[in-house]
Amino acid sequence: VPKESMKKASTFQELRDIRTNLHGTFGLVPTMGALHAGHLSLVRRARAECANVGASIFVNPAQFGPGEDLSAYPRDLERDLALLEEAGVDLVWTPTAEMMYPAGFQSWITVEEVSRPLEGKCRPGHFRGVATVVAKLFNAFSPDRAYFGQKDAQQVVVIKRLVQDLNFPIQIVVCPTVREPDGLAMSSRNAYLSAEDRRSATVLYRALAAAEAEFRRGVSDPERLRTIMRSILHAEPRANVEYISIADPDSLIEVKELAGPVLLSLAVRLGKTRLIDNLLLGG
Ligand code: PAF
């Protein structure tokens, strides 16, 4: 039986009309497009677990700060649609910014404490934009499950909190970070890297992996891991470190002792490109 082709919705009403006629479990993969193997791993997982799979492509202006890369963010809608169709997505929504945030829009969602440290400190307002658009996507698609990458570790914490606090009947499925063969975490922003910066970009994973090896040796002082990561990052002259964090994976508060699971996370600038990566240890 030939597979029915992927349905495409532009307006909210078009999306609802198609969604209403899809029966059985629904899995959602929210994206900002510029798809890579990480996104496709989310679609594959959703395809394996759900009767229907939906995806959204929307570069959400509300999660970019002034002076950030909103206008430069890579966009290739035709390619993204072809990849989603090939991966077996049933329904894709590609709203415009005017549809998502029409004139008069003024209802924002702030997930308070877990939005504050790390990315929240470097990118004020970022998680308010993420939480608001994700809540809108959840309302639009009514998924049973929604799929996110561990690559954006704090985003996952924020979204889990949002789902719990606002009683969305949605299971959040977190999928492992997909890496290039040299360890660099897949990200749409890797496209910004010059050849030299691309070579230096392995420093994030090298720092995390060295700290992981030390963690496995059973050290109890998080400062030991911080020192290892700092020395590897500082040995890369092109890298400007924004933060190195060793935090509780749920509260994102920095730990004073390595007694349970911890989230190691980093943000590093290489030239104009800002990269993040993390490892969850002992989980
Ligand atoms: O992870 C992303 O691509 C975005 O933050 C998301 C979840 C699609 C919201 O815009």
Catalytic residue flag (residue 126) = no
Atom of ligand 1 nearest to the CA of 59: 10
Distance 63 CA to ligand 1 centre (A): 9
pLDDT value of position 177? 98
Residue nearest to atom 9 of ligand 1 (CA): 130
CA 283 – CA 276 distance, rounded (Å): 20
Residue whose CA is at the smallest distance from ligand 1 atom 5: 130
Query: How far from each other are the two terminal CA atoms of the chain, in whole angstroms?
Result: 43
Burial annotation 92-128 (CB, 10 A radius, 16+ → b, else e): bbbbeeeebbeeeeeeebebeebbebbbbeebebbbb
List the catalytic residue out of 36, 39, 126, 234.
39
- Tell which atom from ligand 1 comes closest to the C-alpha of 32: 3
Please tell me the predicted confidence (pLDDT) of residue 195.
97
pLDDT tens sequence for the chain (283 residues): 556 799 999 999 999 999 999 999 999 999 999 999 999 999 999 999 999 999 999 999 999 999 999 999 999 999 999 999 999 999 999 999 999 999 999 999 999 999 999 999 999 999 999 999 999 999 999 999 999 999 999 999 999 999 999 999 999 999 999 999 999 999 999 999 999 999 999 999 999 999 999 999 999 999 999 999 999 999 999 999 999 999 999 999 999 999 999 999 999 999 999 999 999 999 8
- The atom of ligand 1 lying closest to the CA of 188 is 3
Q: Got the DSSP string for the chain? A: -PPPPPEEE-SHHHHHHHHHT--S-EEEEEE-S---HHHHHHHHHHHHH-SEEEEEE---GGGS-TTSSTTTS---HHHHHHHHHHTT-SEEE---HHHHS-TT--------GGGSSTHHHHSTTHHHHHHHHHHHHHHHH--SEEEEETTSHHHHHHHHHHHHHTT---EEEEEPPPB-TTSPBP-GGGGG--HHHHHHTTHHHHHHHHHHHHHHTT---HHHHHHHHHHHHHTSTTEEEEEEEEE-TTT-PBPSS--S-EEEEEEEEETTEEEEEEEEE--
Question: Which atom of ligand 1 is closest in space to residue 63's alpha carbon?
Answer: 10
Q: How far is the CA of 156 from the centre of ligand 1 (A)?
A: 10
Q: Are 268 and 251 in contact (CB under 8 A)?
A: no
Q: How far is the CA of 115 from the centre of ligand 1 (A)?
A: 15
The C-alpha atoms of residue 273 and residue 201 are separated, in whole angstroms, by 10
Side-chain-facing half-sphere of 96: CA atoms under 13 Å:
5
> Which residue type sits at 201?
A
* Site to substitute for ligand 1 among 148, 152, 190, most atoms within 8 A of C-beta: 152
Please tell me the distance between residue 129's alpha carbon and the centre of ligand 1 in angstroms. 9
β-strands 91-93, 262-270 pairing: unpaired
Q: Give CA torsion, residues 135, 139, 143, 148, to 10 deg.
A: -20
- Whether the pTM exceeds 0.75: the reply is yes
